[in-house]
Amino acid sequence: MKFRHVLLNLCIAVFAVSCSTDDNNDTPIINEIEGLLKIQEISNATHTIEIFNTAGDFKTGYNNVSIRIKDNATSNYIKNATLSWMPMMQMPTMQHSCPKSEIAKTIGKETVYEGFIIYQMTNTDGSGWSLTVNYAIDGTDYTATDDIVVLQSEKQNTTSFMGSDNNRYIIAMIEPNNPKIAINNLKVGLFKMESMMTFPVVENYTITLDPRMPGMGNHSSPNNTDLSYNDEDYMYYGDLSLTMTGYWVLNLKLINDQDAILKGEDVTETNEKSSLYLELEF
């Protein structure tokens, strides 16, 4: 019995060694884009920029975006690029960009880079936007640009508005992705439109929250909290209480760091909705 046991262990050991030797010879094939769908490719003479997210298309509001750069000559994916991007909307009389993050390598991946873009508007047919990706590899600069399609989200998950301080702001819902009958983690981005091209994060403001169901007597829900700024990821967080499925209006008020209300009103008997709000349905 004992001898058999030793023999078995020996077999396992030999098998394990041969396996690990194999691994050293062949690069393990790991699918770095598992769970992602390709939105589009943007090509130039040297590279193909592959653009992904979980939905497979751009929509108005917050878009988490993953990128790979393929070398057209070798079909290899670039592991050491530095990237930036510029989304641009061409309007009849002017052009403008939108809030966006920097682009960084996705943690735990070798060829995938990621960031976010918040499209605040689009044309009804999805046209109007282009995306330029600038990148450097081993000290050489490249650029690739093309038109992109941005579809209109069904519900208002982002809104652009003028504050009482005469600044333009953009607010966008980032979470919950999958709202539940529960206390949901509400995550929102707040940006100032400093110019047509620059949209810095607004820090240390407060966003009050009053969710209502307009289809059901405009009732609210218990245990909501206002949103406060988190300086670790530059986003705003609060508790969003959803007591049933259906259509909810998240009534908001934007309050600056001097306690001045920049936009939005209380929901009352005579005012059923704030002029600053986001929507969700689940």
Smallest gap, in angstroms, from Cβ of residue 157 to Cu ion?
Answer: 17
When the beta carbons of 55 and 91 are compared against Cu ion, the nearer one is 91
Smallest gap, in angstroms, from Cβ of residue 121 to Cu ion?
Answer: 5
List, in sequence order, every beta strand (DSSP E) within 3-112.
37-43, 47-53, 58-59, 61-71, 81-90, 95-96, 104-105
By the 8 A CB rule, do 226 and 209 touch? Answer: yes
When the beta carbons of 158 and 184 are compared against Cu ion, the nearer one is 158
When the beta carbons of 58 and 205 are compared against Cu ion, the nearer one is 58
Smallest gap, in angstroms, from Cβ of residue 154 to Cu ion?
Answer: 19
Smallest gap, in angstroms, from Cβ of residue 44 to Cu ion?
Answer: 26
Closest CA to 168 of 184, 150, 191, 137: 191
Residues contributing to the site for Cu ion (CB under 5 A): 89, 91, 121
- How many Å is the Cα radius of gyration of the chain? 24
When the beta carbons of 177 and 195 are compared against Cu ion, the nearer one is 195
Q: Which helix (H) or strand (E) holds 208?
A: strand 206-212
Smallest gap, in angstroms, from Cβ of residue 171 to Cu ion?
Answer: 16
Decide the pairing of beta strands 247-255 and 277-281. antiparallel
When the beta carbons of 192 and 212 are compared against Cu ion, the nearer one is 192
Q: What angle do CA 39, 54, 110 make, to 5 degrees?
A: 85
Give the type of residue at 69.
I
